[in-house]
Structure 1
Amino acid sequence: MNFRIEAGKTVGGNIPLPASKSICNRVLILNALAYSPYEVQNLSDCDDTEVLWKALHSNDHNFDIKAAGTAMRFLTAFLSKVVGEWTITGTERMKNRPIKLLVEALNSLGARIEYMEKEGFPPLHIFGSALQGGEISLPGGVSSQYISALLMIAPLMEKGLTLHLTGEVISAPYIRLTIELMKQFGVETVWEGATLTVRPQEYRPVPYTVESDWSSASYWYQIAALSEKPDLRLGGLLPCSLQGDSVVTDLFAQLGVHTAFTPEGVRLQKEEIRSKHLEYDFVNAPDLAQTLVVTCALLGVPFRFTGLQSLRIKETDRMAALQNELRKLGYLLTDREDRILEWNGERCTPETDPEIATYEDHRMAMAFAPVALRRPAGLRIAHAEVVSKSYPHFWQGLERAGFKLTAY
């Protein structure tokens, strides 16, 4: 599914947002660990959450989680302590996303997990049993989903878990999100310095309703920043959110977007751009990086963004993808040390009618779609269906806000 996207004369309206994928996927695991009789309310209908929900409600022992990285990591840990024999596989891209650190950590805690094809990568053969638990160390620079996966099953290990994080800890808000959600289900975690400790405990069932997703809201902030007179209302967003990506309000305030909280959510309007050069460390909010990179380039705001090391192992190599696609639009970005991306204003000749490749990455499609606001002829997006991974109704939302989409 390919779209040409053209901006309307006005941009505005009430835009429904999906539920937070980060919260949905954690709460589904916690709900299952609590043997809860309650169904989680306001679940996202995105691919990642759907495959996880189906796996947790299935009587099958073989799971294809497609491109859902969160489901791969959380299910690997979850199934390792469920008595039985299981297999997990996914797309070809998933089979090339590393999972060795998580598997080694689980095996050291008493699990038995084997690789079915390539060493260190899915698909996996899991022999589930009671886990002994104990004390392990992990680099703090690994995906926070590894850490969250271990933490959520930790209270059900015979000895609990003491997890030492070494080096720089990335995506700390996602770890704190996991800890806070575990607390809401009755389990306490102690985080002192670089050590996380979870003693043996039992989860308690609780009714749970998921809030809207701040990561998905970021694309509407981007649209507001690139529009002349936007008036957008986004439902279900909370001012005191557990989601680390709620920092989007502060980042886009520097790029001329005013956030007004209402009982229904937020209202976005335009104001003066405050920053002529933007610097930010995305170590705690890597999913916002593509949105800010594209926005700054289109606004002509030079930037230096650090803490991007996890972007290399996401759905695609997001640093390379951003450089490739922005070059088509006439912007030359520089990457340094595998963790820094910067733009000093350097331009090149843009393609006449560029087509943006999406690399099987939902965030590439959504971060580039607003570029249509700055191109009279619009912009072509290839394989636009990838948004189903996190925001299935994104394109309908664009039309609702005044954009025109034409399939080609």
Structure 2
Amino acid sequence: MSQDVYQCKKQNKPISGVVEVPGSKSMTNRALLLAALSKEDSCLEGVLFSDDSRHFLQCLQELGFELFIEEENARVTMKGTGGQIPKKSGTIHVGSAGTAARFLTALLALSDGTYTINCSDQMKKRPMKPLFDALTEMGAEFTYIEEEGFLPAKVKGNGGICKDVTMDISKSTQFLSALLMVAPLTKNGLKITITSEKKEGSYIRITTKMMEQFGVHVEFDGAVYRVAGNQKLTVGNYYIEPDVSAACYFYGIAVLTGGTITVKNVFRTSMQGDMKFLDVLQQLGCLITETKYGIQVTGPKEGQYTGIDVNMNDFSDQTMTMAVLAAYGTTPTIIRNVGHIRVQECNRMAAIVNELNRVGILCEEKGDDLWITPGRLKSATIETYEDHRMAMAFSLLGIRTDGIQIADPACCKKTFEGYFSVLDKLLEAN
């Protein structure tokens, strides 16, 4: 693999094997924030080490939290402070990590200090305003260094006061997750009324389930979230599940080749939203089996399947994977209600359209839906837009089409820096 381009390797046979993927990004960064809020020491196992999580860890260290990091053992130990930030002023850099940006902004806004939050050029374009508005309503003060409503920014904390707020989560549920996680240590707790049509989602459910695991109760009546104040939060020893989002790329290889792929330690008990993608794979004719090692996916015979009409709003990280699989279906596919992916690492709607069109597949945006018509694919170099999920998902094109290259494969380091090595190892073993 060159530094700039990854050459995909077409396969002419079913691909089978067992792979291992790193820990969940979503769970890793939630666990790191909640460990910072815990009064007692925490030990996190199965931690994902990637660009995003390393930025989060570096930010915590810059704020004065005591961490013992064992990257080779996927373990982080943190000294509990009960949510008190050791340093009362400072500067952090969240990189391109949306979770670090949203979660740490909420933590700093409810502190008794003053801080500067810097970020990458990519993160400067991503939405933050709904979170800034809610935190400003609570009494935090923001000074925008470049564009109003976006990072980078300076924040002066409100001393830990929560109050009732309204919030629109249509662009990102991370705004809500951030507020929910910092609320239990405040004296007066928090009531959040959701004003958007979308009221909940898979990532919010990860947040509330993890909070419950750590002793914090969250109430939700269908429109309003409530978190009581002065709740004791204890993380203790905690195992982070393997990343289901990463597992799904390998399951996609089973679909395309009619092979059988097992991902270690991914089980039906996983709390991650992308587990819903397994239901989609069943619609494509896959056999899903839970073994003692992990979930096993056997693809349809000879990789032949019809297209589907599917609402992916609640597991939209797999939109790119589904779009690639749709290119090889025998009938058209419609992916519905994923317009919010326009404001993620890149405009993923436009990126999917551009890159499928580049390889000769008709893909159209219709409102918040994608309409994909299968066809004869041609070789191309896929642009990845500094987006890890574009790189990993579109590498699957090369499983069935000659001459597919992936530009900037190193962008995968955001969540899965060893992805292409794991992919090569799997293919070489067949």
- Alignment match, 1:139: 168
User: Contact 2:112–2:160 (CA<8 Å) still a contact in 1?
Assistant: no
The match for 1:54 among 40, 55, 58 is: 58
User: Contact 1:82–1:129 (CA<8 Å) still a contact in 2?
Assistant: yes
- Alignment match, 1:119: 148
User: Contact 1:253–1:274 (CA<8 Å) still a contact in 2?
Assistant: no
- Alignment match, 2:388: 362
Which whole-Å CA distance do the structure 1 matches of 2:292 and 2:298 have between them? Answer: 17
- Alignment match, 2:84: none
Q: 5 Å matches for 1:79-90? A: 79-90=108-119
- Alignment match, 2:399: 373
Return the offset for 1:309: 1.8
Q: For structure 2, list consecutive stretches of 5 or more residues without a partner in the other structure.
A: 65-89
Which whole-Å CA distance do the structure 2 matches of 1:104 and 1:132 have between them? Answer: 15
1:28 aligns with 2:32: yes
Which whole-Å CA distance do the structure 1 matches of 2:292 and 2:252 have between them? Answer: 22
SS in 2 for 1:239: coil
**Cα gap change, 1:8 to 1:193, in 2 (>3 Å):** closer
- Alignment match, 1:5: 8
Q: Deviations over 1:262-283 (max 9, x none)?
A: 1221222223589634111111
- Alignment match, 1:98: 127
- Alignment match, 1:316: 346
SS in 1 for 2:35: helix
SS in 2 for 1:134: coil
User: Contact 2:111–2:159 (CA<8 Å) still a contact in 1?
Assistant: yes
The match for 1:289 among 314, 319, 337 is: 319
Return the offset for 1:299: 2.6
Which whole-Å CA distance do the structure 1 matches of 2:403 and 2:175 have between them? Answer: 40
Most deviating of 274-283 and 316-325: 274-283
Which whole-Å CA distance do the structure 2 matches of 1:380 and 1:142 have between them? Answer: 31
User: Contact 2:143–2:155 (CA<8 Å) still a contact in 1?
Assistant: yes
Q: For structure 1, list consecutive stretches of 5 or more residues without a partner in the other structure.
A: none
Which whole-Å CA distance do the structure 1 matches of 2:166 and 2:358 have between them? Answer: 43
Return the offset for 1:41: 0.8
Q: Deviations over 1:271-318 (max 9, x none)?
A: 358963411111111101111011111233411111112111000000
- Alignment match, 2:426: 401
TM-score normalized with structure 1 length: 0.93
User: Contact 1:13–1:400 (CA<8 Å) still a contact in 2?
Assistant: no
**Cα gap change, 1:285 to 1:401, in 2 (>3 Å):** same
SS in 1 for 2:111: coil
- Alignment match, 2:409: 384
- Alignment match, 2:292: 263
User: Contact 1:171–1:286 (CA<8 Å) still a contact in 2?
Assistant: no
TM-score normalized with structure 2 length: 0.88
Return the offset for 1:149: 0.4
Which whole-Å CA distance do the structure 2 matches of 1:355 and 1:331 have between them? Answer: 14
SS in 2 for 1:264: coil
User: Contact 2:167–2:196 (CA<8 Å) still a contact in 1?
Assistant: no
**Cα gap change, 1:9 to 1:312, in 2 (>3 Å):** same
User: Contact 2:287–2:297 (CA<8 Å) still a contact in 1?
Assistant: yes
Which whole-Å CA distance do the structure 2 matches of 1:68 and 1:4 have between them? Answer: 27
Return the offset for 1:398: 0.7
User: Contact 2:327–2:373 (CA<8 Å) still a contact in 1?
Assistant: no
Return the offset for 1:170: 6.3
Most deviating of 86-95 and 395-404: 395-404
Which whole-Å CA distance do the structure 1 matches of 2:94 and 2:51 have between them? Answer: 9
User: Contact 1:171–1:285 (CA<8 Å) still a contact in 2?
Assistant: no
Most deviating of 395-404 and 107-116: 395-404
User: Contact 1:225–1:252 (CA<8 Å) still a contact in 2?
Assistant: yes
The percent identity for this pair of structures is 32
User: Contact 1:277–1:303 (CA<8 Å) still a contact in 2?
Assistant: yes
**Cα gap change, 1:274 to 1:106, in 2 (>3 Å):** farther
Return the offset for 1:335: 1.0
Q: Deviations over 1:43-80 (max 9, x none)?
A: 00121112112211334721222211111111111122
**Cα gap change, 1:392 to 1:296, in 2 (>3 Å):** same
- Alignment match, 2:49: 45
User: Contact 2:313–2:336 (CA<8 Å) still a contact in 1?
Assistant: yes
Return the offset for 1:202: 2.5
Q: Which amino acid aligns with 1:114?
A: T
User: Contact 2:307–2:329 (CA<8 Å) still a contact in 1?
Assistant: no
User: In the comparison of the two structures, how many residue pairs are matched?
Assistant: 398
